[in-house]
């Protein structure tokens, strides 16, 4: 069931045109930037989008200078958060070629107050299906006080996703249509 749901959502997401992704991502950015949790945050961790994901590049560019911006770097199957000062300091890495910092500029986990989380699909209670590596679930356990926000297109929000013991739900889901406050 989990794999079929993943495949169905990915197929739909991958069928979006570049223009659709840009337009929907612009609306998602606006919804995110108007969210009180985002406005109050001082240190925000963004994922760097790739392929047909919600485009986070403009969100990152606009947040640099307003907040301390952090980008994940995968080191030995763990996320290492790294402060960045611009997108130009990132290089393609790993098997997907996702942009990552060349060097890690460390930050204390306790200082991270907002984490934007990628996913293939989310349910209204904040549970998600990711890419299957578990990087984010492991990382999110290290920042329990941070507000966790899933970014996705509206069709990626479903009624229920299969859950596992180690899953860490998000607090909000931001789409181009709405902000879902997840019930705990």
Residue 184 clears pLDDT 80, i.e. is over it: no
Which residues are paired to 173 by β-bridges?
150, 180
pLDDT in tens, 61-114: 999 999 999 999 999 889 999 999 998 889 998 777 899 998 899 999 999 999
Q: What is the pTM (predicted TM-score) of this model?
A: 0.95
> Tens digits of per-residue pLDDT, 167-183?
899 999 999 999 999 97
Three-state DSSP class for 169?
Answer: coil
d(CA 30, CA 70): 20
* Residues paired with 73 in a beta bridge: 80
Strands (E), 51-118: 68-75, 78-84, 90-93, 98-101, 114-117
Domains of the chain (ranges plus CATH)? 2-181 (3.40.50.10420)
Cβ-contact 116, 46 below 8 angstroms: yes
Mean pLDDT of 128-157: 94
The pLDDT of residue 153 is above 90: yes
Per the listing, tokens 């229920």 go with 160
- 118: tokens are 């990628």
The DSSP letter of residue 64 is B
């Amino acid at each position: 069931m989990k794999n079929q749901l993943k495949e169905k959502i990915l197929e739909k997401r991958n069928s979006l045109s570049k223009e659709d992704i840009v337009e929907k991502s612009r609306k998602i950015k606006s919804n995110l930037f108007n969210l009180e949790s985002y406005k109050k945050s001082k240190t925000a961790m963004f994922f760097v989008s790739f392929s047909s994901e919600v485009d986070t590049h403009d969100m990152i560019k606009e947040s640099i200078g307003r907040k301390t911006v952090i980008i994940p770097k995968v080191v030995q199957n763990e996320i290492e958060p790294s402060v960045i000062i611009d997108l130009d300091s990132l290089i393609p890495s790993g098997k997907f070629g996702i942009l990552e910092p060349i060097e890690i500029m460390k930050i204390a986990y306790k200082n991270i107050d907002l984490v934007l989380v990628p996913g293939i699909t989310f349910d209204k209670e904040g549970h998600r299906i990711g890419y299957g590596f578990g990087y984010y679930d492991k990382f999110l356990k290290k920042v329990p006080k941070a507000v966790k926000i899933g970014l996705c297109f509206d069709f990626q929000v479903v009624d229920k996703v299969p859950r596992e013991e180690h899953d860490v739900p998000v607090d909000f889901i931001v789409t181009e249509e709405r902000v879902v406050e997840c019930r705990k």
